[in-house]
Structure 1
């Protein structure tokens, strides 16, 4: 399968909003990154293939803590533009998860940050197994909204529910369909997982809205529909974000989590 096999909503949206994505999407906690390095057994001798590398949000965290060789794979032209600007010395290839132009058994680890739900299929796993060395590790990472820590009348719960209500027709982490990819397949051992709840500071209401606007399903809306969502968003924030939650600098905290899963190639 070719680059065109990448989900068209994700590819089109991220071609459009790659600069906003790079500016507003959050990074990853030290605990999350160190877990990835540990389970992938990364060293300066390791070759890591980062699939759906995007603008390099996870790459930036990775290069701080390891000297492993990284090859980035990304189907979106826009995302690659930002990635190459951010990391001109890292090899970056335009390709989908279904057809990665790398040799068999060339990688010690494959890392997918905030993207596996877009291509959680046996076809992708077969391709990952092809380029991984026997015993190599596939590691997937997500930031997620920590609903278990939220009351249903909180600003975070209500805004997330509003925006998640628009993602019905696109693959998303929160749909929890991605684990099915690991069912009835011969390439990987059952995956292991760990979650790390944390609080994330959001600089302002405007920043928070712009963060949501980087989601593919909001990017895909026509301007009039997006304006309606924005109006609902602002109404929720007016009703639910209390003055006590806002810091003197205008920031406020969201309850989030880091989710890491990993599976060893058979």
Structure 2
């Protein structure tokens, strides 16, 4: 049922075409939402939550993914405030708010008084894209991971997550679920790594993909091997493989303060196209 003030309601399978038309307005920035919609058909049981839509004159003008993450899609600040008002009716069930900066800022301002102080807020995260060949020589050792790599891969994934997020993915009994996610990406052919002998020294994964773009996550270099160019050449190889076999544009977003990573991505040929923000609880 529509909110009489703001025209917000949960979307369903019948709204899929309209939703995909919305994500297509900025298909690289919206790759997560596009991927979630196509793989779940907007069915709540597969989403593990809901996808809200905001309507104007019967037309879908903005949306918001509501699962483990709260992700605004094509939302203006006014749309985000409407989603925030709806979010307040159910309390906080999400672990992060993430997406384009202006919409995340408006969403957060709308719920902050009720949802309490976040664990961390990262307000200016460059969103980067590359749509052509990498500008540096790819590392020929980069390959897709297999189940035989799990003894090296899983600890590297845990180390990356803990370093990036500040909390281990195994905290609170999450090890089984996180291992399943690592395995899922591996089985899809979305997990890439460089090995020096038997030791994993670089890794990255495709988090989500559509016909338009693939978003990279989990870029990590073994701490004692940083500064050797492993990230640059490793990412160059990942870009080549992903563009050839998954999607024509490769994207990611990075913390503003992570200067070494930003320099590495710039050398590979990534260019900033937007700013993201992440509020973590």
TM superposition score normalised by structure 1:
0.29
Q: Which has the higher helix share?
A: 1
TM superposition score normalised by structure 2:
0.28
